[in-house]
Structure formats: C-alpha cells, structure tokens
A = this chain, B = another copy of it.
Amino acid sequence: MALELPELRSFLVLAQHLHFGEAAGALHVTQPALTKQIQKLESKVGGPLLVRGYRRVSLTPAGEILRERAQGLLREAEMAEEITRLAVHGKAGLLRIGFGIASLAAGLPDILTRFRQRFPAVQVSMADMSTPNQISALEQGDIDVGFVRLPVEHPDLETVPVLEERLVAAIPRGMPYRKGLASLRNEPFVVISRSVSSSFVDHVARTCRAAGFSPRIVQEVNELFTVLNLVRGGVGVSLVPRSANLMHVPNVRLVDTGLEEAKWKIGLAWRKANSRGADSFDPLVHNFIRLAYRPRGVAPAVDLKPLPR
C-alpha cells in the first residue's frame, strides 16, 4: 500500500501539535478520525511513528524522518499544482519563437520585454530563421509562433499583422541621391545572401525594378551589420530594413525610397487550433499574440523613430 497525501498532511499537523485532540481540531475532523488515519499510516510503514505517553505524544526517529520527507513532498505537490494551473492559462511553460532578419530590430525586443514582464514564469526560446524556414518549423511543431513576412498562404497557419517595415537605401555619406532610388542605378549593390533570405533579396530586386533598374549585386553577406559596414567602406550601396538605423553605423545614410513597393508587412504566424493532427491551441501562443497584436488598423506595435537626417 502506498502513502497518500491526506495522511501525510494529518501526520504533519499532528507532528506540530503533538496532541491528537488539538491536531484533529486544526484539521477540522474529530479525534477518532485522526487516530484512524495515523494508524493506517503506521500500518503502511510497518511500525509506530509516534509514541503515545501520558499527556505526551512524541515522534519516533522514524516519525522524524517521515516528517522531513512529508514536508518536502507536500510543498512540491503544491508547486506542481500551481505551475500546472499557470501553464493551463498560458502563464507558464516554454514558448518557442521564430524571427527573421527584420523583425529582430523592428519591434521584437520591445514585444519580448513586455511579454516577459507580464508572464515572468514563461521560458522563451528564440530561433533566428527566414520566413520559409519558420513556416516549415511551425508545421513540424519546432516553433510555436513566428515573425514572418506577410502574406502567408498556408492551410494550417493563421497570421495577424503586427509590424510594418520598408526598405530604405543605405549609402555612404556624401553620395548624391537627388533622383531618389534611381540615383543608385549604376552603383554596385551589397545584399544579404540569398541563402539567408531569398525573399528579402527578391524584395530588393523588386524595389529597384520599380525605380526603373536592376541592381548589380557585387557582394552577398550573411549579416545585416556586415552589409552596413561594407556600405560604409565604399564597397557598394544597399537596400536595408528601415530599422537598421538602430545599428548606428557611422558615415552611412539611410534614406527613404518613397516607393510603395519598398514596404512590407511583418506578421505573427501560428498553427491553427484545429489543424489536422495537431494539438489544441496553446494558450501561451494566445497570450503572446494578444500582447503583440494591438489592432489599431495596421498600426505597428512599435513606433519607429524618424530617420536621423
């Protein structure tokens, strides 16, 4: 026969009071009930846990040992209940977030900060990957939500827009820009590598085409920061997310293109609640989306500061 928690609770209270009558009162039961509980407990462990003397109850060495264990056990049981309760309401557990090149700088840090403030018991893990990779990671259950480039058409995924970004030209200080983006038609371009985010490269090409030219790409690199530094070094120009201004690379100007094609939306994507074979909707995801998505039309979750200069 196995120990059960109610018995242990009774035993602990009795170990405090060392008096059957009082302990029974504290437990809101009558004294015989407590006597029977303790007797059952003692029969389970095969011997006495308490010594009943005249007007004096005391713990045996074995009782002392059980008392320590029981205390820990009950405390852990309470904690298990509490954390599970939190998890059920999306306030505890592990949330795996995917994010891409742009969302990191744009508004994600702020969203994360607010989320961790509001749900401190939630463990967050971040995975840096492109939009297509995020989509397959979502499908396979490797991440729970992702910051993806919209639009996403996928039968098992839902999305909501949370950020708006646009490409801006990154040029060395002093380079002429009178005629807008078209001024760069003959400049060499440095861009993020196609293997990092082909959709981003496509977007750069599309934007240039709207300005009437096709970019001559002379260098591909893996990091946005590298792009800006190559621009600074005069290797070429580039089109980068507007939020790149947060990186503060000196002698590099970020200037708006004024083109509608330069804009794009970043949204949150997650598995639909009843997608075939999938788990039910994770309340953690729900809480994260609610916090990230503030419906003011398509107002960005984070205000981008005006460009310097």
Measured CB to CB, the residues of A under 8 A from B are: 2-6, 44-49, 51, 53, 56, 58-62, 64-66, 69-70, 72-73, 76-81, 83-85, 87-89, 92-94, 277, 279-280, 282-284, 307-309
Taking the full assembly, how many copies of this chain does it contain?
Answer: 2
Q: If A5-B5, A48-B88 touch, does A73 touch B69 (CB 8 Å cutoff)?
A: no
* Extra 7 A-B pairs, beta carbons < 8 Å, given A61-B283, A69-B80, A73-B76: A3-B80, A46-B89, A49-B88, A51-B280, A64-B93, A65-B93, A73-B73
Q: How far is the CA of A85 from the CA of B198 in the complex (A)?
A: 66
Q: Which of B45, B56, B78, B279 meets A84, CB within 8 Å?
A: B45
Q: How far is the CA of A277 from the CA of B70 in the complex (A)?
A: 26
Write out the residue numbers on chain B whose beta carbons fall within 8 Å of the beta carbon of A53.
Answer: 277
Write out the residue numbers on chain B whose beta carbons fall within 8 Å of the beta carbon of A69.
Answer: 76, 79-80, 83-84
Write out the residue numbers on chain B whose beta carbons fall within 8 Å of the beta carbon of A80.
Answer: 3, 66, 69-70, 73
Tell me whether B78 and A2 are in contact (CB under 8 A): yes
7 A–B contacts, CB within 8 A, in A order: A45-B84, A45-B88, A49-B84, A60-B279, A66-B80, A69-B83, A70-B80
CB of A109 to closest CB in B, whole Å: 25
Q: How far is the CA of A80 from the CA of B53 in the complex (A)?
A: 26
Write out the residue numbers on chain B whose beta carbons fall within 8 Å of the beta carbon of A93.
Answer: 61-62, 64-65
Tell me whether A83 and B60 are in contact (CB under 8 A): no
Q: How far is the CA of A309 from the CA of B45 in the complex (A)?
A: 11
CB of A53 to closest CB in B, whole Å: 8
CB of A13 to closest CB in B, whole Å: 14
Tell me whether B84 and A62 are in contact (CB under 8 A): yes
Write out the residue numbers on chain B whose beta carbons fall within 8 Å of the beta carbon of A64.
Answer: 93
Write out the residue numbers on chain B whose beta carbons fall within 8 Å of the beta carbon of A284.
Answer: 61
Tell me whether A4 and B2 are in contact (CB under 8 A): no
Q: Which residue from chain B places its CB closest to the CB of A61 in the assembled complex?
A: B93
Count chain B CB atoms within 10 A of each CB in A46, A47, A51 and give the residue with the most. A47
CB of A264 to closest CB in B, whole Å: 32
CB of A44 to closest CB in B, whole Å: 7
